[in-house]
Amino acid sequence: MNDVSRLPGSAHHHWQWQLRAACRNLGPGRFYHPAGERGEEREDRDEAAKRVCAVCPVRAACLEHALRTREPFGVWGGLTEEERRALPGQTGRRTVAAHAGAGHR
């Protein structure tokens, strides 16, 4: 079970950014890999997700959310779970801003 203690409160302003997300109506299949997916298929799915993130107006907010809550799965803010775990100082705003504007992979 996920640890929900790091999630922001239920206040509307904590979640408002999601309404403007480029992925809002795309469904989760592009952003979360199925169990056992490896190699080229996973890389292709990740790259497709990152293309959506690259033009997203709320990419930095999305990445900040994923880092703050330690989101364990999926592509958030243009980074895979492995890429997010590899970031030093995951919760710092400078880290979020620097990576939200940079191209990855």
Q: Known binder of ligand: residue 56?
A: yes
Q: Known binder of ligand: residue 23?
A: yes
* Closest alpha carbon to 50 in 19, 82, 8, 72: 82
Q: Known binder of ligand: residue 70?
A: no
Residues 6 or more apart whose CB falls under 8 angstroms from that of 73 comprise 32, 81
Instruction: Output the CA angle 14-18-24, nearest 5 degrees.
Output: 160
Q: Known binder of ligand: residue 53?
A: yes
Annotated binding site for [4Fe-4S] cluster: 23, 53, 56, 62
Annotated binding site: 23, 53, 56, 62
